Amino acid sequence: MKTRVLGKDLKVSELGLGCMGLTFGYGPAVSEQDAIALIHRAYDLGITFFDTAEAYSQGLNEEFLGKAVKSFRNDVVIATKFGFLDGDASKGVDSRPERIRTVVENSLRYLQTDVIDLLYQHRVDPNVPMEDVAGTVKDLIAEGKVKHFGMSEAGVESIRKAHAVLPVTALQSEYSMFWREPENEILPLLEELEIGFVPFSPLGKGFLTGAINAETKFAENDFRNIVPRFSEENRRANQQLVELVQTIASENNVSPAQIALSWLLAQKPYLSPIPGTTKIHRLEENVGAVNVSLSTEELNKINTALEEIKLVGDRYPANFQARVGK
């Protein structure tokens, strides 16, 4: 698999693996054995960029990842995150310097490593000056516990403030055919400041695969149950986008997921999407996207069609949406 560079010098595989769904957000957690098998298969397929967080089941996700990559730790890039109160996204944010340090020490232990390659602030904390947040991570880098600083779902002003204290290597936010808002302000800023971009939910939380329709029932603890865009009514209304992706996939003899990822990879050279899955066959399908090359004509055709599709439904419930873009 080819590599891409985030920021000045963080080299990652062009496709990463988002590990959240292994333990959090999309129904019951998988077993440790299955999680390790999936991560090993990802590595065998050329993925060297793995994304986790303290908030994904209070360290369990990090534990699974740490055990899985232990034998090839020096060959991969591990990204994790701080920023939620007690490591629980439902409780609110907490980026106090002392909390950042506690999270880092916990993450180092869970991941069985002596350094975190990329440390994100999971959400901006309005009660802690960005100078203090970036300054704390800068100190952790000087101490050899962290290599690079990233931000997640941050807004333009916060990114600029942080970058003035410590160069931001990567921003992580949602971006896909299903959610293109970063194109308005975020992508131009990242180009200006030479910051990499790590799109999460590049398959629209599964919607772009064509496997979800208005009749789909999610597990009781599946995050999509509370996402407005995934209400039964909105899933039905947004099927036009799925049909577009399916048509293009059929024309190219590939899967809808591969078209969605190929389109995303073609948008900017400094981005590395991190699709997640719990199934090895879906992982293999996703990795196949790196071999799908859409022509300029096809990309223009897709973008023209996307402009004509009106998508409905917010991507977060109001209380979650209030935390993003700060």
CA 8 vs. chain centroid, Å, equals: 20
CA distances from 67 to 1, 22, 43, 241 (A): 23, 14, 13, 39
CA distance 146 to 153: 20
Give catalytic status of residue 120 as yes or no: no
CA distance 30 to 178: 27
CB-based contact 88:139 (threshold 8 Å): no
CB-based contact 245:231 (threshold 8 Å): no
Phi and psi, residue 71, nearest 5°: -80, -15
CA distance 140 to 45: 32
Burial 77-106 (b: 16+ CB within 10 A, else e): bbbbbbbbbebebeeebbbbeebbbebbeb
CB-based contact 92:124 (threshold 8 Å): no
CA distance 70 to 284: 22
Q: Which of 47, 107, 126 is nearest to 286 (CA)?
A: 47
Taking phi over 0 as left and psi of -120 to 50 as alpha, with beta for the rest, 117 belongs to alpha
Q: Of 26, 43, 56, 120, which residue is the catalytic one?
A: 56
Give the tokens for residue 200. Answer: 């999460």
- By the 10 Å C-beta count (0-12 exposed, 13-18 middle, 19+ buried), 41 is classed as middle
Catalytic positions are: 56
